[in-house]
Structures are given as structure tokens and as C-alpha cells.
């Protein structure tokens, strides 16, 4: 059976395997960002605060919460995308069952 593909964001056809690989990489990156923001709460990535705009300083001050929001949104995306894969896989399985010949009992 050929792997199920869904259109990710309605644009890119992607298999479940490729999607899970990409999600793993994204969550590893998010975990690294969470670690950096927890271990070094005032980490400025080598930027001089006096040269940053107030918005840039605000982003750096709230980076932990921004990263947690990204993780939450990515989790929602994963939930709905994996649910879409599940629906397509179930539809394929039900089509396969319908088209199999029925064996007579002897």
C-alpha cells in the first residue's frame, strides 16, 4: 500500500513519515530554546540592549513565554495534522475492506 499523503497547510503534499521527522526536528529546536531561556534568563545573544528597540528588548525579556506559546501552537498543529492522517488512513482501510472478495465458508 502506498503511503498516505496530506496537503500540509493546503499547499505541500507530505507523508506521515516525513511529517513526523519534521515535527521531531521542530520540537528538538523548541526544547533547546526552552533550555536556553531557563538556564540563561537574561541571555541577550550578544546584542547590546542600548541599541535595541523597546520591542526587541520586550521580545528578549519574554522569550521564554514566546517559546512556550510556539510549543503550544506547534502541538495544536501536530494534533490536527495527525488527525487528518488518521482520517485518510481509515478511509483507505475501509475502501480496502469493501473491495476484498468475500470468502464462502465450506
Q: Which cell goes with 94?
A: 475501509
pLDDT, one tens digit per residue, over 21-58 is 999 999 999 999 889 888 887 766 677 777 888 888 88
In three-state secondary structure terms, 78 is helix
With b for 16 or more beta-carbon neighbours within 10 A and e for fewer, the 31-65 pattern comes to eebbeebeeeeeeeeeeeeeeeeeeeeeebeebee
User: What's the predicted TM-score (pTM) here?
Assistant: 0.74
The residues, any chain, with a CB within 8 Å of residue 17's CB and separated by 6 or more, are 3
At residue 106, the pLDDT reads 54
pLDDT, one tens digit per residue, over 64-101 is 899 999 999 999 999 999 999 999 999 888 876 666 65
Amino acid at each position: 500500500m502506498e503511503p498516505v499523503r496530506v496537503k500540509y497547510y493546503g499547499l505541500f503534499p507530505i507523508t506521515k513519515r516525513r511529517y513526523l521527522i519534521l515535527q521531531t526536528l521542530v520540537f528538538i529546536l523548541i526544547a533547546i530554546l526552552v533550555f536556553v531561556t531557563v538556564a540563561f534568563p537574561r541571555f541577550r545573544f550578544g546584542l547590546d540592549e542600548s541599541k535595541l528597540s523597546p520591542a526587541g528588548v520586550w521580545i528578549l525579556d519574554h522569550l521564554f513565554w514566546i517559546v512556550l506559546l510556539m510549543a503550544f501552537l506547534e502541538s495544536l498543529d501536530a494534533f490536527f495534522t495527525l488527525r487528518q492522517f488518521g482520517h485518510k488512513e481509515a478511509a483507505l482501510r475501509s475502501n480496502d475492506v469493501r473491495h476484498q472478495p468475500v470468502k464462502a465458508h465450506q
